[in-house]
């Protein structure tokens, strides 16, 4: 892929991320807070160190995010039964419900946009999914 195509791809990925983040802002969470909540709801319980690595954020930022989500009743901290020094995070019922609403809002946004596109564009996007998934996995593994 040439440099121009890479730049276009990077830009469109950024725009898509911003638009999807905006579609879920009705829950009163920042995009990063929504992401942290999503990880805890989907993969939890998670330790702070694991969450820090998965999100690619510094530990201080993760601590602040978790404190906010905890204060809002969306996550709770509990001791790790295997190591009492470690704190695990798990989503509360309210946190799981909030995460579900965010997922539904994002899905609805994408579905609405797809409905307005031509069938050819929809087919091209479907065919591109494996390549986009490989790109996402490559980004995830190379950011460490």
Q: How far apart are the first and last CA of the chain?
A: 24
pLDDT grade for 143, boundaries at 50, 70 and 90: low
Say whether pLDDT at 8 is over 90.
yes
pLDDT at 142: 76
Determine the Cα–Cα distance for residues 29 and 120; give it in Å rounded to an integer. Answer: 35
Number of domains present in the structure of the chain: 1
Considering the chain, what is the average pLDDT of its residues?
Answer: 90
Q: Which domain range does residue 71 map to?
A: 3-142
Say whether pLDDT at 110 is over 70.
yes
pLDDT in tens, 43-77: 989 999 899 988 888 999 999 999 999 999 999 99
- Axis crossing angle, helix 3-23 with helix 93-115, rounded to the nearest 10: 130
Comparing 143 with 125, the larger pLDDT belongs to 125
What CATH number is attached to the domain comprising 90? 1.10.10.10
């Amino acid at each position: 892929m040439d440099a121009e195509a890479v730049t276009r791809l990077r830009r469109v990925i950024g725009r898509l991320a911003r638009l999807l983040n905006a579609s879920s802002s009705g829950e009163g969470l920042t995009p990063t807070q929504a992401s942290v909540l999503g990880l805890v709801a989907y993969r939890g319980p998670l330790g702070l160190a694991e969450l820090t690595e998965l999100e690619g954020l510094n530990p201080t930022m993760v601590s602040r995010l978790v404190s906010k989500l905890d204060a809002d009743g969306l996550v709770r901290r509990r001791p790790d039964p295997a190591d009492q020094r470690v704190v695990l995070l798990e989503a509360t019922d309210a946190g799981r419900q909030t995460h579900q609403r965010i997922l539904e809002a994002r899905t609805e946004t994408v579905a609405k946009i797809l409905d307005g596109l031509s069938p050819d564009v929809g087919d091209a996007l479907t065919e591109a999914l494996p390549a986009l998934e490989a790109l996402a996995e490559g980004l995830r593994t190379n950011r460490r």
